[in-house]
A and B are shown apart, each in its own frame.
Chain A
Amino acid sequence: MRRAPTGVLTVLLVGIAILYLPILVLIGYSFNASPLVNIWGGFSTAWYGRLLHDSELLSAALLSLEVGVAASTCAVILGTLAATALVRFRYFHGRLLLTGMVNAPLVMPEVITGITQLLLFVSMVHLFSWPHRGFTTIVISHVTFCTAYVTVTVQARLMSADRSLEEAAMDLGASPARAFLEVTLPIIAPAIISSWLLCFTLSLDDLVISSFVAGPGASTLPMVIYAKVKLGVSPDVNALASLIVCALGLCIIGARWLMVRGERRRALDARLAAG
């Protein structure tokens, strides 16, 4: 394949530079000793130390982590089921509905998802006295949009998975369920784990939907950060933001590494089997 012209490559490099410049500047400023954000006052990690004493921030971070783990775990289960249904069963009642419902959250503006879900929760409490706004409602909302991401990721992997392996297992006497669990599940496992990590980062980052459904008592980390950021740039937010960006970045690189390693191993197995 011919390489792209130099001009086009330049746009690529400039585009990547633009994507990363603000994040790098942010991390740089977070080590600024001066409380005045525009003047460099020497290197310091003082702002990171201050974060540990902010109890509001710490309890919000804890809530966000709990929500993230719960929501990603539920979403991975529902999303894998949805992907299996869409890839393996060509015709069933509700197929179109399911396809629509796993794709729509990906493009739905968050303010709309947020307000409609809140109205549902308020009406449900009115009727069944459940769910009370807080942890439960935030988890349910996050599961909704995370399920969409899991379905898309796992669906892609399932479509490329070799069905003949599963058929071979069934020829050897395995039930369809057992063949799926023992043959196909290990193949799609990297996709499942990496989509768990993606969900975790999405959940940890969600501001708009959480703000609607959280109710007055609960605040997630993004909600606390938003309240601080609204007041302008400040050095301790720079430190917090740098920490989160780096942690999430590692999550994503980990997810990606799992996917690539899974793919390589599969390619190797295929080659060994063929050889």
Chain B
Amino acid sequence: MKPAWMQPPRLSGRWLIILPPLVFLAIFFLIPFAFAFKISLAQTAAHVPPYTDLITLTPDHHLHLGASLDNYRFLFTDDVYGVAYLYSLRTALFSTLICLLIGYPMAYAIARSPKSAQGVLLLVIMLPFWTSFLLRVYALENIIRDNGFLNTALLHLGLISHPLRIMRTSVAVYLGIIYSYLPFMVLPLFATLEKLDPTLLEAATDLGSTPRRAFLDITLPLSIPGVIAGSMLVFIPAVGEFVIPSLLGGANTLMIGRVLWDEFFSNHDWPVASAVAIAFLLFLVGPIAIYQHYNVRQMES
């Protein structure tokens, strides 16, 4: 009798279902981060691929370990990265708050509509999200550029005498993020508001609450998981946004996604670009964990 470990593993039907997605995602989603970490410890080199090997054999047959944290040290010494990181955080934070202010009433109104209208309204909200992100950002440029739709309309109405300068400013980036990610905010908010038990509100009204009081005491606190889920869905991709600052922003709207892109495509510095990615990831793990926590909780309830 062979010991258990020598017998071929029994592949039951279960594993035929579990393994393909597990293995595929592990190889092509998880392991890449290990490679990025490895390359972030290397240096640039003028060959293909453009980075040094971590372990090399010296002429006197010694293994030489070429790993160093220089790239990370560089991220902290060069101001560009810190500035870009803080600028990205600030832009994402304010855009998220504005999305919340617009998205909450929208989600609330949909949750209070007749059931038959809800499906159509949700489709109307989600349709722009699914139809080309890149082209929607471009469409926004048509509206806000100096001689675009907005300025033409305002000039015709006599509300302004000079065209507003929006393109290539921070305002354009805010508008771009809010416009692109608003559906992300509405959907989770709607999901929590829709599940809210209406009898709670009735009870509050019976006990003498004004509608405003009932909203503040019941609806708002119970919708917090949706607020958090929606905010995460807007905030995290917004921090790493590349297309919007690149197309709508000016030279000074340095967001971290754009810095990473330039480091890679313009400077061809793969190790520093990897270090930016890894550092960025570390600063994102926290928010993702919180999001997951609420996500799992919501699913369970």
Contacts and interface: CB of A to CB of B under 8 A. Distances in A.
B109 A107 contact: no
A252 B130 contact: yes
Given A109-B280, A112-B281, A78 B125 contact: no
Interface string A215-259: 000000010011001100100011001001100110111001000
A201 B112 contact: no
A25 B288 contact: no
Interface stretch (A46-54, A81-89, A165-173): A81-89
A211 B127 CA distance: 25
A229 to B, nearest CB: 5
B44 interface: no
Contacts of A89: 14, 17-18
A202 B131 CA distance: 8
A22 B110 CA distance: 23
Interface stretch (A55-63, A139-147, A183-191, A267-275): A139-147
A25 B134 contact: no
B257 A109 contact: yes
B149 interface: yes
A252 to B, nearest CB: 5
Given A21-B143, A233-B145, A122 B49 contact: yes
A233 B108 contact: no
Interchain residue pairs A-B with the least CB separation, the first 4: A109-B240, A116-B32, A82-B21, A22-B139
A237 to B, nearest CB: 7
A158 B73 CA distance: 49
Contacts of A115: 36, 260, 264, 273-274, 277
B22 to A, nearest CB: 5
Interface in A169-214: 176-177, 198, 201-202, 204-205, 207-208, 211-212
A151 B273 CA distance: 31
Contacts of B130: 198, 201-202, 248, 251-252
A225 B134 CA distance: 9
B119 interface: yes
B102 interface: yes
Interface residues of A, number: 90
Contacts of A253: 123, 127
Interface in A142-158: 143-144, 147, 151
A248 B132 contact: yes
A107 B288 contact: yes
B5 interface: no
Interface in B16-37: 17-18, 20-22, 24-26, 28-33, 35-36
A22 B145 contact: no
A109 B131 contact: no
Contacts of A244: 131-132, 135
A161 interface: no
Contacts of A111: 240, 242, 257, 260-261, 277
Contacts of B32: 116-117, 119-120
Interface of B: 13-14, 17-18, 20-22, 24-26, 28-33, 35-36, 39, 49, 102-103, 105-106, 108-113, 119, 121, 123-128, 130-136, 138-143, 145, 147-149, 152, 179, 182-183, 186, 198, 201, 211, 232-233, 236-237, 239-243, 246-247, 257, 260-261, 264-265, 270, 273-274, 277, 280-281, 284, 288, 291-292, 295
5 contacts: A15-B106, A119-B36, A120-B31, A151-B21, A249-B127
A98 B232 CA distance: 21
A23 B139 contact: yes
Contact of B112 (A1, A7, A79, A105): A1
B123 A2 contact: no
A11 B136 contact: no
A207 B112 contact: no
Nearest to B110: A12
A71 to B, nearest CB: 12
Contacts of B103: 15
Interface string A73-103: 0000111011011000100101001101111
A166 B91 CA distance: 50
Nearest to A74: B24
Given A22-B139, A85-B17, A101-B26, A112 B277 contact: yes
B131 A252 contact: yes
A230 B237 CA distance: 21
Given A25-B149, A107-B232, A205-B135, 5 more contacts: A92-B14, A98-B21, A144-B29, A201-B130, A229-B138
B109 A8 contact: yes
B201 to A, nearest CB: 8
A55 B49 CA distance: 31
A16 B121 CA distance: 9
